[in-house]
Amino acid sequence: MTGPGRAPAVPRALVVALAVAACALLALAAWVLATRAEQRGGIATLRATHYWAGGYPKSFWDGLDPSRIDADYARIRAQGFNAVVLAVSWPEFQPRLTPAPAFDERAFRDLALLVGKAADHGLRVVLRVGFIWSFRPDAEMPNAVRVDAAFHDAAVHHAWLAFVEEVCRRVCSAPNFRLAFLSWEDLHPFNLLGAEPSRDDPGLRSVYAGWLRERHDLAAVAARYGRAFATWDEVPLPERRSPAYEYVLAWWDDMLAERFFLPARARFPGLSFEERVDWDPVWTQGERAEWHRHPSVTGRAGAEVATLYYAVAWGMPNAGDVTDARSALSRFARLLELTAAQNPRDGLFVDQFNFFDNTPEFSTNTRLAEEEYDAMLAGAAEVLARHGAGYALWLDEDYAANILYNPGFQRGLAGWEARGAASVAAEPDGAAVLRLAAGAGVAQAIVATGRETGFERGSTGTLCMVGRALASATAGVRANGLPAPVALEFGAVAERRCAAAPLAPEFRLEIVAQDGVELDRIELYHHVQHSRIRTLEGKPGPQAAALRELNRALAKLAGP
């Protein structure tokens, strides 16, 4: 019998069955969520850093020393990261574009080595496909030249798509591969979108005018240009500080999606795109009148994962000022909200979380006050987890902006001219060393314009080498070709030595041995990019501990 207000008795067997069913449903839900996270590459769980192997991004592939990869990956894992980002350079992997695209098998072997060793260390892999920078001297249409051509030259565009497809063919089946993305930074037509754009490029003018003709009325275009046009052939590329330049920005938005991302994604399943999250000014009569906000490429294409970048400068005055962590984190959260609103899919990946940036060109950007960096990293964990976003640092150790190609002789004497008894020896662990007899030398001609800033005549940089004497107690090395010679001396034990070096826009650097010597990793630079995590000397930076805490917190909030 049951009385008023009393629930009927439930058989014990039914209770057990219901409990088992509930547990099964919870397990199924957890499995579905885990599977969905894995299918989207575990984006929210990605804690990554770009890997530069102690070298410079622009010469990463030609300077990669295989002997240090295991130690580097172990250090990265110990810092709490579970992934590395590898920037796959277009000129390095596909040096020839026409008449038929040609790939560099050595570069692909290095990529396979990096991906495989990452798996050995429990690291996932993210690829930035099409990194445009390289110092490779035999690359056809290097760097910015080939990017401009890809916008209007059918053969170059075809080669680029073949490159994207080949990268996927080589890497997509790797068990630890998780995500790949294109970047607007690598698809930036410098002759049109640079600080001082060229208005005389006939190829860019042709595709731009064709785009205008398809979407706009000639009279409306003429009104925005502030001049009359009888035919479309009369429409030029506009000046940067003119109202008509908004057409260029809208044209670029369409090209990124239609010419590049959609065709590339058909060849590279699951490909993402690094969105242009900065807004560009539109000018009227020499003054900024409004902002052009770039629409989402991934949202337009229906991609699963949107990639973006962040720097403390985003949304700030950028007038040489400083800010606190609370203000920066508020803007960071706002950026993620805006990006997620345009990309209502599965995840966000912040491929550059630049809580610090000392790039010389951005010296007036807003930065954190010195005492705010730890708080910024501590607060970032909650912001990232709340928005289901993974992240990567641009660098987790300082690097020097070395202007030299093949600085560690990993590619033999490629890029160097040798005289006398000069040879490259391969070590058993994969390292390489240059051996010079007394009087022998190597040289490399450098045109700094287009490579690096800071090489103006009268400026001073740093010249470094790792070396050891071969036959005598000491060995002298002289660097000629700069405005004044630089001398270094080495003992019997390999050691890194540096000296101040006068710089010039163009020079032929010649390294001459006064005694028998063995050299490795020659560096000539004007700037050191700081990470605040690990110094050039391999010592912990001021935010090393805070970075580990960020990764620990994210592992708890977002998953291991």
Q: Do the Cβ atoms of 143 and 134 come closer than 8 Å?
A: yes
- Kindly report which listed range (14-23, 72-81, 240-249) carries the lowest average pLDDT score: 14-23
For range 369-397, the mean pLDDT: 97
Q: Which residue has the higher pLDDT, 189 or 442?
A: 442
Q: Are 130 and 187 in contact (CB under 8 A)?
A: yes
One-letter amino acid identity for 396?
D
19-24-27-32 Cα dihedral, nearest 10 degrees: -140
Query: Does 65 share its domain with 106?
Result: yes
| pLDDT more than 70, % of the chain | 92
CA atoms 177, 179, 182, 186: torsion sign: negative
At residue 450, the pLDDT reads 79
Q: What is the pLDDT of residue 20?
A: 37
In this prediction, residues 226-248 reach a mean pLDDT of: 92
Same-domain pairing of 47 and 139 = yes
pLDDT of 30 higher than 60? no
pLDDT digits (tens, 9 = 90+) for 263-314: 999 999 999 999 999 999 998 876 777 899 999 999 999 899 999 999 999 9
- Residues 534, 508 share a domain: no
> 541 and 488 in one domain?
no
Closest CA to 464 of 439, 488, 485: 488
Element spanning 124, H or E: strand 124-131
**Domain-embedded: residue 6:** no
Identify whether 194 is part of a domain: no
pLDDT tens for 394-409 read 999 999 999 999 999 9
| pLDDT score at 428 | 86
Based on the fold, state whether residues 426 and 546 are members of the same structural domain. no
Q: Please tell me the distance from the alpha carbon of residue 346 to that of residue 337, in angstroms, as a whole number.
A: 14
pLDDT band for position 467 (50/70/90)? very high
d(CA 230, CA 137): 45
Overall domain count for the chain: 3
pLDDT of residue 96: 97
* Assigned domain for 148 exists: yes
Same domain, 479 and 338: no
Return the residue matching tokens 């662990």.
429
Angle at 24 between CA 22 and CA 25, to 5 degrees: 65
User: Are 509 and 415 within 8 A, CB to CB?
Assistant: no
The answer on 165 and 135 residing in a single domain is: yes
Q: Say how far residue 358 (Cα) sits from the centre of its chain.
A: 16
Do 60 and 160 belong to one domain? yes
- What's the DSSP call for residue 210? H
pLDDT at 336: 97
User: What pLDDT does residue 197 have?
Assistant: 64
**pLDDT range class, residue 192, cuts 50, 70, 90:** confident
Name the average pLDDT for the chain.
Answer: 91
Q: Which two tokens stand for residue 532?
A: 């605040």
Residue 60 maps to a domain: yes
What pLDDT digit, counting tens, does each position of 1-26 carry?
A: 223 333 334 344 433 343 434 333 33
Q: How would you classify residue 64: left for phi > 0, otherwise alpha for psi between -120 and 50, otherwise beta?
A: beta
- Size of the chain, expressed as the number of residues it contains: 560
Report if residue 290 sits inside a domain.
no
The span from the first CA to the last CA of the chain, in angstroms, equals 53
435 & 489 share domain = yes
pLDDT of residue 21: 41
pLDDT at 42 over 90: no
Which tens digit of pLDDT belongs to each residue from 132-186? 999 999 999 989 899 999 999 999 999 999 999 999 999 999 999 999 999 999 9
For residue 474, the domain's CATH number is: 2.60.120.260
pLDDT at position 103: 98
Tell me what pLDDT residue 239 has: 87
Beta strand extents in 438-516 (DSSP E only): 441-447, 460-469, 475-480, 486-490, 495-502, 506-513
Look at residue 533 and tell me if it is in a domain: yes
Confirm whether 481 is domain-assigned.
yes
Same domain, 365 and 452: no
Lowest-confidence range among 82-96, 233-247, 382-396?
233-247
Where would I find the beta strands (DSSP E) of 139-235? 177-183
The predicted model gives 302-328 an average pLDDT of: 96
Q: Check residue 195 and give its pLDDT.
A: 64
Residues 6+ apart with CB under 8 A from 438: 513, 514, 515, 516
Q: Residue 377: its pLDDT value, please?
A: 98
The Cβ-side half-sphere exposure at 124, using a 13 Å CA radius, reads 22
Greatest pairwise CA separation for the chain in angstroms: 109
A 10 A CB-CB count for 4 gives 4
Local confidence band at 198 (pLDDT 50, 70, 90 cut-offs): low
Do 515 and 533 sit in the same domain of this protein?
no
In a domain, 341, yes or no: yes
pLDDT at 210 over 70: yes
Give the range of the structural domain holding residue 477, as residue numbers without chain letter: 417-526
Tell me what the mean pLDDT of segment 336-343 comes to.
93
Q: Please tell me whether residues 508 and 556 are part of one structural domain.
A: no
**CATH label of the domain that carries residue 138:** 3.20.20.80
pTM of structure? 0.91
